[in-house]
Structure 1
Amino acid sequence: MPDAIFPKVTPRDFSILENLLEARLGSDELLVAALRRKLREAQLVFAEDLPADVATIDSRILLRVDERLPEERTLVTAAHYIPGVGHQSIATPAA
């Protein structure tokens, strides 16, 4: 796959994703399948070697949905998600 783009994941995030997969995330089959694929294809990289525009868990991100104004959020696991405090769960599907 010479043209494939593989996800870059820090060792910390890889471990968090493995733990989420082991917990099976309830019955969300699509999320379980996405986690398996990400872990299978992931390239492990140290956080300091990532470009500044690559988000990891606990990163502050700027998120824009449709035509709404951009919002700053912290990327968190579903277990740490608190509505209304500027969090964005990694379990939220991307469009």
Structure 2
Amino acid sequence: MTANPTEICILTTKDFTILEVMRDRCDAGSPLAPILKKKLETALVVFRDDVPENVATLSSRVTFTVDGSEADTRILSHDAMSSSVGTFQPISTARGLALLGMAEGEDFHLVDRNGREERIVLEKVQYQPESARRARESVVAQADAAHRKPALRLIRGAFYDQPPIAPAGTSGGDDPGPSAA
């Protein structure tokens, strides 16, 4: 595996935690060990609301190429799924792990089991759950704002700048007033 030293892997807090657990459970001789190390060392960890929409996160549907071959579209998953073959790309595989945290247009070089180098390019993030969630929340907020009553607006009355009017008569208190002088 080779990498650009300025390469940054953008991970949500959840994705980062999952990779830490994977690293802790990974054997040193595993082909995933150097990828996990690289991802965690170059990670820029962000909250789910702050992850750019062009970054591959867990459960994102991504289109990628391997060594310039025909583009493939898969959903990044935590583990292998038992549903339709070819739908998911688990992060428990080198390619899936390489794609996690990449931004559109970035590439990742890794070495397969036969010692052959592969270049994976993330072409497009077709769907990202964090971005979809933000879009839903925005629509709900706009709908709430449209149904909200107008805010109360205070208007100053005619007596705003006038001195207070003193009541006529005695106050009935201890003060005898000006006539006592």
Normalising by structure 1, we get a TM-score of 0.73
Q: Which amino acid aligns with 1:19?
A: V
Question: How far apart are the structure 1 equivalents of 2:14 and 2:34?
Answer: 20
CA distance in structure 2 between the partners assigned to 1:8 and 1:38 by the alignment: 9
Q: After superposition, where does 1:1-95 map in structure 2 within 5 Å? A: 4-24=6-26, 27-28=29-30, 30-65=31-66, 66-68=68-70, 70-77=71-78, 79-82=79-82, 84-90=85-91, 91-93=93-95, 94=108, 95=119
Distance 1:37 1:67, change over 3 A: closer
Per-residue deviation at 1:34? 1.7
CA RMSD of aligned residues (A): 2.5
| Separation in structure 2 between the aligned mates of residue 86 and residue 25 of structure 1, nearest angstrom | 28
Q: How many residues align?
A: 90
Percent identity over paired residues: 28
Higher helix share: 1
Give structure 1 regions of 4+ aligned residues with deviation exceeding 6 angstroms: none
**Which structure has the greater CA radius of gyration?**
2
How far apart are residue 18 of structure 1 and its match? 0.9
Question: How far is the alpha carbon of 1:15 from its aligned partner?
Answer: 0.8
Structure 1 pair 51–16 and aligned structure 2 pair: CA distance change class (3 A):
same
Structure 1: which 5+ runs fail to align?
Answer: none
In the alignment, the residues of structure 2 paired with residue 32 and residue 67 of structure 1 have an alpha-carbon distance, to the nearest angstrom, of: 26
- What amino acid is the match of 2:12? T
